[in-house]
Amino acid sequence: MIVRTMSEIVDVKWGNGLSRRFLTAADGMGYTITHTTVYAGTSSPIQYRRHLEACYCVGGRGAVQLATGERFELTGGTMYALDKHDAHYLIAEDVDLRLICVFAPALNGDETHTFTEDGFSCY
């Protein structure tokens, strides 16, 4: 059995926020669970090419916008799943956006994003 509290995990500054990674590949579960904060006023161009991701918004206000332009508003109680390795922008509006995220397969745990003007940050 694995039991962890916030004080026992490593915080990863991933680019425009903070990711608290509760489960990683080293745990052998096959998926990762994170508590992610997206800093207010940021827009992050992201594409997961090796992972699928589902996120449940537990607070804040923002949006996930696909590269195609389709936009979905996020507030507490909203879930989205990137089931096709979708290139997207994760946007936090005037307050931090807080998400519980699941990645499959599991993350190693130290991944971060590098944002440039030439495309979507990938890992």
- What domains does the chain contain, in order, with CATH numbers? 9-108 (2.60.120.10)
Amino acid at 16: N
pTM for the full model?
Answer: 0.91
Six-digit token string for 14: 């991933």
Q: Which residue has the tokens 């962890």?
A: 4
What is the model's pLDDT at position 112?
A: 76
Q: Are 120 and 48 in contact (CB under 8 A)?
A: no
What is the model's pLDDT at position 111?
A: 78
The answer on pLDDT for 12 being more than 90 is: yes
